[in-house]
Structure 1
Protein backbone atom coordinates (compact mmCIF):
# COMPACT_ATOMS: atom_id res chain seq x y z
CA UNK A 1 0.00 0.00 0.00
CA UNK A 2 1.40 3.40 -0.95
CA UNK A 3 1.42 6.00 1.81
CA UNK A 4 0.38 9.64 1.73
CA UNK A 5 2.97 12.38 1.54
CA UNK A 6 3.83 13.17 5.19
CA UNK A 7 4.02 16.92 4.40
CA UNK A 8 0.41 16.79 3.17
CA UNK A 9 -0.68 14.95 6.35
CA UNK A 10 1.09 17.50 8.58
CA UNK A 11 -0.33 20.48 6.67
CA UNK A 12 -3.84 19.02 6.91
CA UNK A 13 -3.45 18.32 10.64
CA UNK A 14 -2.15 21.83 11.32
CA UNK A 15 -5.15 23.32 9.50
CA UNK A 16 -7.24 21.96 12.42
CA UNK A 17 -5.29 23.96 15.05
CA UNK A 18 -7.64 25.90 17.30
CA UNK A 19 -10.66 23.71 16.58
CA UNK A 20 -12.56 23.46 19.90
CA UNK A 21 -12.81 20.12 21.69
CA UNK A 22 -16.13 18.35 21.23
CA UNK A 23 -16.58 14.68 22.12
CA UNK A 24 -17.18 12.40 19.10
CA UNK A 25 -17.29 15.31 16.61
CA UNK A 26 -15.16 15.84 13.51
CA UNK A 27 -15.78 19.30 12.02
CA UNK A 28 -12.80 21.57 11.40
CA UNK A 29 -13.17 24.91 13.17
CA UNK A 30 -16.37 23.74 14.89
CA UNK A 31 -15.40 20.83 17.12
CA UNK A 32 -13.60 17.50 17.32
CA UNK A 33 -12.05 15.03 19.72
CA UNK A 34 -8.75 13.25 19.09
CA UNK A 35 -10.31 10.57 16.87
CA UNK A 36 -12.38 13.22 15.10
CA UNK A 37 -9.17 15.06 14.24
CA UNK A 38 -7.70 11.88 12.71
CA UNK A 39 -10.95 11.26 10.82
CA UNK A 40 -10.92 14.81 9.45
CA UNK A 41 -7.32 14.51 8.29
CA UNK A 42 -8.23 11.16 6.68
CA UNK A 43 -11.07 12.81 4.72
CA UNK A 44 -8.77 15.62 3.53
CA UNK A 45 -5.78 13.43 2.65
CA UNK A 46 -7.26 10.06 1.70
CA UNK A 47 -10.96 10.54 0.91
CA UNK A 48 -14.30 9.42 2.36
CA UNK A 49 -14.23 7.44 5.58
CA UNK A 50 -14.43 3.71 4.76
CA UNK A 51 -16.85 2.79 7.56
CA UNK A 52 -18.92 4.53 10.24
CA UNK A 53 -17.35 4.96 13.66
CA UNK A 54 -19.52 3.51 16.42
CA UNK A 55 -19.97 5.49 19.66
CA UNK A 56 -17.09 5.09 22.09
CA UNK A 57 -16.38 5.87 25.73
CA UNK A 58 -14.09 8.66 26.92
CA UNK A 59 -12.57 6.46 29.65
CA UNK A 60 -8.78 6.48 29.22
CA UNK A 61 -8.52 3.80 31.90
CA UNK A 62 -10.72 1.36 29.99
CA UNK A 63 -9.35 -2.18 29.90
CA UNK A 64 -10.39 -5.13 27.82
CA UNK A 65 -9.24 -7.93 25.57
CA UNK A 66 -9.33 -5.88 22.33
CA UNK A 67 -7.44 -2.83 21.17
CA UNK A 68 -10.44 -1.38 19.34
CA UNK A 69 -8.71 1.72 17.92
CA UNK A 70 -5.66 -0.21 16.76
CA UNK A 71 -7.82 -2.95 15.22
CA UNK A 72 -9.81 -0.32 13.31
CA UNK A 73 -6.68 1.45 12.09
CA UNK A 74 -5.16 -1.85 10.91
CA UNK A 75 -8.17 -2.35 8.63
CA UNK A 76 -7.18 0.67 6.54
CA UNK A 77 -3.66 1.89 7.38
CA UNK A 78 -0.19 0.35 7.24
CA UNK A 79 1.15 -0.25 10.75
CA UNK A 80 4.69 0.71 11.71
CA UNK A 81 6.70 0.14 14.86
CA UNK A 82 6.30 2.93 17.43
CA UNK A 83 10.09 3.30 17.35
CA UNK A 84 9.87 4.17 13.61
CA UNK A 85 7.48 7.11 13.89
CA UNK A 86 8.18 10.24 11.87
CA UNK A 87 6.17 13.34 10.90
CA UNK A 88 2.83 12.41 9.38
CA UNK A 89 2.40 9.24 11.45
CA UNK A 90 -0.80 8.58 13.37
CA UNK A 91 0.04 7.46 16.91
CA UNK A 92 -2.20 5.79 19.47
CA UNK A 93 -1.42 6.45 23.10
CA UNK A 94 -2.01 4.16 26.07
CA UNK A 95 -2.80 6.76 28.74
CA UNK A 96 -2.72 4.42 31.72
CA UNK A 97 -0.76 1.20 32.32
CA UNK A 98 -2.71 -1.92 31.34
CA UNK A 99 -5.46 0.19 29.73
CA UNK A 100 -6.25 -0.03 26.02
CA UNK A 101 -4.95 2.71 23.70
CA UNK A 102 -7.59 5.46 23.68
CA UNK A 103 -5.86 8.70 22.62
CA UNK A 104 -4.81 9.67 19.10
CA UNK A 105 -2.25 12.15 17.80
CA UNK A 106 -0.46 13.01 14.57
CA UNK A 107 3.28 13.66 14.54
CA UNK A 108 4.13 17.05 13.03
CA UNK A 109 7.90 16.95 13.59
CA UNK A 110 10.51 14.66 15.07
CA UNK A 111 9.59 15.89 18.56
CA UNK A 112 6.14 17.49 18.14
CA UNK A 113 2.60 16.23 17.69
CA UNK A 114 -0.89 17.54 17.27
CA UNK A 115 -3.97 16.25 19.10
CA UNK A 116 -7.36 17.32 20.43
CA UNK A 117 -7.43 17.69 24.17
CA UNK A 118 -10.44 18.33 26.39
CA UNK A 119 -10.78 22.03 27.35
CA UNK A 120 -7.88 22.96 25.02
CA UNK A 121 -9.12 21.84 21.60
CA UNK A 122 -6.65 21.00 18.85
CA UNK A 123 -3.13 21.89 19.96
CA UNK A 124 0.43 21.19 18.87
CA UNK A 125 2.91 20.41 21.59
CA UNK A 126 6.28 18.75 22.29
CA UNK A 127 6.43 14.98 22.13
CA UNK A 128 8.03 14.78 25.56
CA UNK A 129 9.51 11.55 26.91
CA UNK A 130 6.29 11.12 28.92
CA UNK A 131 4.17 11.28 25.77
CA UNK A 132 6.63 9.22 23.70
CA UNK A 133 6.62 6.28 26.13
CA UNK A 134 2.80 6.16 25.96
CA UNK A 135 2.82 5.44 22.21
CA UNK A 136 1.38 1.94 21.86
CA UNK A 137 0.72 1.79 18.11
CA UNK A 138 1.64 3.78 15.01
CA UNK A 139 0.20 3.91 11.50
CA UNK A 140 0.68 5.75 8.21
CA UNK A 141 -2.06 7.39 6.20
CA UNK A 142 -2.47 5.63 2.84
CA UNK A 143 -2.25 7.50 -0.44
CA UNK A 144 -5.56 8.68 -1.94
Structure 2
Protein backbone atom coordinates (compact mmCIF):
# COMPACT_ATOMS: atom_id res chain seq x y z
CA UNK A 1 0.00 0.00 0.00
CA UNK A 2 1.34 3.41 -0.89
CA UNK A 3 1.66 6.28 1.58
CA UNK A 4 -1.05 8.09 -0.41
CA UNK A 5 -3.42 5.12 0.02
CA UNK A 6 -2.70 4.98 3.76
CA UNK A 7 -3.49 8.69 4.03
CA UNK A 8 -6.74 8.32 2.05
CA UNK A 9 -7.92 5.44 4.25
CA UNK A 10 -7.05 7.15 7.54
CA UNK A 11 -8.59 10.44 6.35
CA UNK A 12 -11.79 8.58 5.38
CA UNK A 13 -11.91 6.89 8.81
CA UNK A 14 -11.31 10.19 10.62
CA UNK A 15 -14.37 11.66 8.88
CA UNK A 16 -16.42 9.19 11.00
CA UNK A 17 -15.04 10.45 14.34
CA UNK A 18 -17.90 11.62 16.55
CA UNK A 19 -20.49 9.42 14.83
CA UNK A 20 -22.60 7.95 17.68
CA UNK A 21 -22.53 4.23 18.34
CA UNK A 22 -25.52 2.40 16.90
CA UNK A 23 -25.53 -1.40 16.66
CA UNK A 24 -25.59 -2.71 13.06
CA UNK A 25 -25.69 0.82 11.60
CA UNK A 26 -23.27 2.34 9.10
CA UNK A 27 -24.27 5.97 8.50
CA UNK A 28 -21.59 8.62 9.02
CA UNK A 29 -22.79 11.32 11.41
CA UNK A 30 -25.95 9.40 12.38
CA UNK A 31 -24.81 6.07 13.83
CA UNK A 32 -22.43 3.16 13.38
CA UNK A 33 -20.83 0.24 15.12
CA UNK A 34 -17.26 -0.99 14.58
CA UNK A 35 -18.14 -3.13 11.57
CA UNK A 36 -20.28 -0.31 10.20
CA UNK A 37 -17.25 1.98 10.38
CA UNK A 38 -15.18 -0.39 8.23
CA UNK A 39 -18.11 -0.82 5.84
CA UNK A 40 -18.55 2.95 5.61
CA UNK A 41 -14.88 3.56 4.91
CA UNK A 42 -15.08 0.88 2.19
CA UNK A 43 -18.00 2.77 0.61
CA UNK A 44 -16.11 6.06 0.88
CA UNK A 45 -13.12 4.52 -0.93
CA UNK A 46 -14.63 2.06 -3.41
CA UNK A 47 -18.34 2.82 -3.72
CA UNK A 48 -20.85 0.02 -3.24
CA UNK A 49 -20.25 -2.62 -0.56
CA UNK A 50 -19.46 -6.08 -1.92
CA UNK A 51 -21.83 -7.81 0.55
CA UNK A 52 -24.06 -7.08 3.53
CA UNK A 53 -23.30 -8.71 6.88
CA UNK A 54 -25.85 -11.01 8.48
CA UNK A 55 -27.67 -9.82 11.62
CA UNK A 56 -25.45 -10.11 14.69
CA UNK A 57 -25.68 -9.47 18.41
CA UNK A 58 -23.94 -6.52 20.07
CA UNK A 59 -22.25 -8.68 22.74
CA UNK A 60 -18.46 -8.96 22.41
CA UNK A 61 -18.28 -12.12 24.48
CA UNK A 62 -20.53 -14.83 23.07
CA UNK A 63 -19.67 -18.38 23.89
CA UNK A 64 -18.28 -20.40 20.99
CA UNK A 65 -20.88 -21.80 18.62
CA UNK A 66 -23.70 -19.39 19.54
CA UNK A 67 -22.94 -16.37 17.36
CA UNK A 68 -23.88 -15.91 13.72
CA UNK A 69 -20.95 -13.50 13.25
CA UNK A 70 -18.55 -15.78 15.13
CA UNK A 71 -15.83 -15.92 12.50
CA UNK A 72 -17.90 -14.39 9.74
CA UNK A 73 -16.23 -11.04 10.39
CA UNK A 74 -12.81 -12.56 9.65
CA UNK A 75 -14.18 -14.69 6.81
CA UNK A 76 -15.86 -11.67 5.22
CA UNK A 77 -12.68 -9.65 5.58
CA UNK A 78 -10.74 -12.43 3.82
CA UNK A 79 -13.15 -12.25 0.89
CA UNK A 80 -12.59 -8.54 0.30
CA UNK A 81 -9.38 -7.50 2.07
CA UNK A 82 -5.86 -8.92 1.99
CA UNK A 83 -4.96 -10.79 5.18
CA UNK A 84 -1.59 -9.80 6.62
CA UNK A 85 0.29 -10.70 9.77
CA UNK A 86 -0.62 -8.67 12.82
CA UNK A 87 3.01 -7.58 13.10
CA UNK A 88 2.85 -6.04 9.60
CA UNK A 89 -0.16 -3.84 10.44
CA UNK A 90 0.27 -0.14 9.68
CA UNK A 91 -1.85 2.97 9.18
CA UNK A 92 -4.87 2.23 7.01
CA UNK A 93 -5.08 -1.46 7.89
CA UNK A 94 -8.11 -3.11 9.49
CA UNK A 95 -7.57 -5.08 12.70
CA UNK A 96 -9.96 -7.45 14.44
CA UNK A 97 -9.97 -8.16 18.17
CA UNK A 98 -10.98 -11.22 20.16
CA UNK A 99 -12.28 -10.00 23.50
CA UNK A 100 -12.14 -13.47 25.12
CA UNK A 101 -9.47 -16.09 24.49
CA UNK A 102 -11.86 -18.56 22.86
CA UNK A 103 -14.51 -16.07 21.85
CA UNK A 104 -15.25 -14.65 18.43
CA UNK A 105 -13.19 -11.93 16.79
CA UNK A 106 -15.93 -9.31 16.93
CA UNK A 107 -14.41 -5.89 17.29
CA UNK A 108 -12.85 -3.99 14.38
CA UNK A 109 -10.70 -0.90 14.08
CA UNK A 110 -8.70 0.91 11.45
CA UNK A 111 -5.11 1.66 12.38
CA UNK A 112 -4.30 5.36 12.11
CA UNK A 113 -0.64 5.26 13.16
CA UNK A 114 1.94 3.09 14.85
CA UNK A 115 0.06 3.06 18.16
CA UNK A 116 -3.30 4.60 17.18
CA UNK A 117 -6.63 3.28 15.97
CA UNK A 118 -10.05 4.53 14.98
CA UNK A 119 -13.02 2.50 16.19
CA UNK A 120 -16.57 2.61 17.53
CA UNK A 121 -17.74 0.89 20.65
CA UNK A 122 -20.96 0.61 22.58
CA UNK A 123 -22.12 3.61 24.57
CA UNK A 124 -19.64 5.94 22.91
CA UNK A 125 -18.94 7.20 19.41
CA UNK A 126 -16.27 6.70 16.79
CA UNK A 127 -13.00 7.78 18.39
CA UNK A 128 -9.29 7.77 17.68
CA UNK A 129 -7.47 6.18 20.59
CA UNK A 130 -4.15 4.67 21.58
CA UNK A 131 -3.59 1.04 20.68
CA UNK A 132 -2.59 0.13 24.23
CA UNK A 133 -1.02 -3.10 25.45
CA UNK A 134 -4.52 -4.19 26.57
CA UNK A 135 -5.84 -3.85 22.98
CA UNK A 136 -2.68 -5.39 21.46
CA UNK A 137 -3.15 -8.51 23.60
CA UNK A 138 -6.57 -8.99 22.01
CA UNK A 139 -5.48 -8.61 18.36
CA UNK A 140 -6.64 -11.61 16.35
CA UNK A 141 -6.37 -10.62 12.67
CA UNK A 142 -5.07 -7.87 10.42
CA UNK A 143 -6.15 -7.00 6.88
CA UNK A 144 -5.16 -4.50 4.21
CA UNK A 145 -7.56 -2.74 1.88
CA UNK A 146 -7.05 -3.60 -1.81
CA UNK A 147 -5.13 -1.15 -3.98
CA UNK A 148 -6.96 2.13 -4.53
CA UNK A 149 -7.37 3.65 -7.95
CA UNK A 150 -6.32 7.26 -8.43
CA RMSD of aligned residues (A): 1.7
- Which of 64, 68, 74 is 2:72 aligned to? 68
Q: TM-score, normalised by structure 2?
A: 0.90
SS at match of 1:92: strand
Would you say 1:36 and 2:36 are equivalent positions?
Answer: yes
Cα displacement (A) at 1:41: 0.2
Q: More relative contact order in 1 or in 2 (CA 8 Å, sep 6+)?
A: 1
Work out the number of aligned pairs and report it. 143
Cα displacement (A) at 1:58: 1.5
SS at match of 2:101: coil
Aligned 1:16-95 pairs, distance under 5 A: 16-62=16-62, 63-64=64-65, 67-95=71-99
TM-superposition CA deviations, 1:66-116 (whole Å, max 9, x none): 621100100111000011110000000001111010000000010000100
Moved more, 45-54 or 15-24: 45-54
**In 2, Cα distance between equivalents of 1:87 and 1:34:** 17
- Which of 137, 141, 144 is 2:145 aligned to? 141
Gaps of 5+ in 1: none
4+ residue segments displaced more than 4 Å? none
